[in-house]
Structure 1
């Protein structure tokens, strides 16, 4: 018998297939559609908290445990046979996709703010998005900076930036910060990269080398309770920028609202890159297509549509 939980799980996996995986990861699109039809997996997923049923988390956990993700039938058999281990990982893990490519979406804003910057990332994971000044960028045939990794981004509706920001201080806040010098943490970050995305895996390695050479200040803490104290550590004379990318959807709505109220009271700027429903914008133009897009906002003002891994930005402000 199909329950409301089954229907909700099925719908979430279909939505993931349609809006996130289609045209981006054929393997995960097939996998998501298979899970959407698999009542056995619905029943198993129903035993973990709702926030722990998301496709990205399940697929990454199975990958971390050595399970197959290219063959939907083999995936289902592995997940069912190893469910105690899978469930244990689901309960303790979070989708800390530390995608350095998102810096390409943030760069047009960061480069335009008064320099130097004091960057404070909420939901920083291993802190790989705290180095927009160290990466190189390619917007079509326009190159910014040098070195590795090189972050490619299709930018429309605005001119690409001509410089990288100057960063005087960088810090991250996370409930479970990761360490790029810890092989177990790096294995989890690797498991979160989608199967076909070898370029993202190479980018992860290159960005991890940048972070390991000059580790950021990463603080274990809550985005409301511990943010003011960390922000107060930013050096005088630097423009504080509190930012986050694809983080707030994981935060319960009341806590999310409390964070939004708090961050507006801090000096400096608030840069957000989240799905449109997360911060509840009143009026937005239509996104470029039906795939999943985030909204880039500065101090609550929407500026652009962005793709989840920073691969495209459509400026509308």
Structure 2
């Protein structure tokens, strides 16, 4: 039920992170009129993150649940249109912090291929700097902070010689409208994430990646074949497969396993299951970081923390 989705979002994702979105999600979960309107769009278009970002992009209020509900009802035609054409392409550069220990340990140099790349901001792990508690890594772009348990941070970022992304609707941070949508996806109180997004966007704008419009099953092999010889191909994705039907997830896994190089996945456990996982550190939402199908760590959705067990 849609109400349950919003209630779970409030309790597992927004609580302690975004008071505004926690309040909105709990209010929507109990609002029969708003839930009835959401029932008129496809299930994949009813996500809390998507609804809230669409309303923000239209200039609607997100700090007052009652005003939010009135706006959604009054402007439903515009809101529904946004839900149907937009996607939660949250391009969080902070996720590079949980990918870094895996990427830095692979044979260098790397050819990175991100599936569900959005604007490609996670294709620059070599251009950012990192802070894991008292340990600093790198000296570039925005500083990505991550609470890491059970793993020693790498001494240096990886060396990347090729970067490409595959997405059904790739975004270009050099276009004002695309950057504005990415900013709308950042939660209201998270000024640090908005600043980080803008800093990462500046990195990408200065040296744009190869972004290809295509399907993660049908078009992946051709793009992977463009990776340069002599570099380790790494196909990776993070918080992407929940938007893909289960049968296509299976087809994607079969394709990526047949490619040369390595596969790095960072997805929710119910989306990309692994047998015999340990218990997560707490009840908040976690992804599972895996290398070539082997689970390694629990990770927080925006890269703010990881607990290594592999």
What range is the shorter-chain TM-score in? over 0.9
Q: Matched residues in 1 for 2:273 and 2:303: separation?
A: 21
In structure 2, the residue matched to 1:99 is 92
- 1:176 equivalenced with 2:172 (yes/no): no
In structure 1, the residue matched to 2:114 is 121
Q: TM-score, normalised by structure 2?
A: 1.00
In structure 1, the residue matched to 2:68 is 75
In structure 1, the residue matched to 2:5 is 12
Q: Which shows bigger deviation, 103-112 or 276-285?
A: 276-285
Deviation sequence 1:30-81 (CA, Å, 0-9, x none): 0000000000001100000000001000000000000010100000001111
In structure 1, the residue matched to 2:50 is 57
Cα displacement (A) at 1:186: 0.5
In structure 2, the residue matched to 1:143 is 136
Q: Which runs of 5+ in 2 are unaligned?
A: none
- 1:311 equivalenced with 2:278 (yes/no): no
In structure 1, the residue matched to 2:267 is 274
In structure 2, the residue matched to 1:239 is 232
Q: Matched residues in 2 for 1:191 and 1:200: separation?
A: 11
Aligned length: 310
- 1:132 equivalenced with 2:125 (yes/no): yes
Cα displacement (A) at 1:278: 1.0
In structure 2, the residue matched to 1:284 is 277
Q: Which runs of 5+ in 1 are unaligned?
A: 1-7
Q: Following TM superposition, where does structure 1 have runs of at least 4 consecutive aligned residues deviating by more than 4 angstroms?
A: none
In structure 2, the residue matched to 1:160 is 153
Cα displacement (A) at 1:280: 1.5
- 1:39 equivalenced with 2:37 (yes/no): no
Cα displacement (A) at 1:98: 0.1
Q: Secondary structure at the match of 2:174?
A: coil
Q: CA RMSD in A?
A: 0.4
Cα displacement (A) at 1:148: 2.4
Q: Matched residues in 2 for 1:158 and 1:145: separation?
A: 17
Deviation sequence 1:218-245 (CA, Å, 0-9, x none): 0000000000000000000000000000
1:197 corresponds to which of 169, 184, 190 = 190
In structure 1, the residue matched to 2:289 is 296
1:88 corresponds to which of 81, 103, 109 = 81
Q: Secondary structure at the match of 2:107?
A: coil
Q: Matched residues in 2 for 1:144 and 1:199: separation?
A: 19
Q: Secondary structure at the match of 1:185?
A: helix
Cα displacement (A) at 1:161: 1.1
Q: Matched residues in 2 for 1:180 and 1:296: separation?
A: 27
Cα displacement (A) at 1:158: 1.1
Deviation sequence 1:84-141 (CA, Å, 0-9, x none): 0000010000000000000000000000000000000000000000000000000001
Q: Matched residues in 2 for 1:139 and 1:294: separation?
A: 18
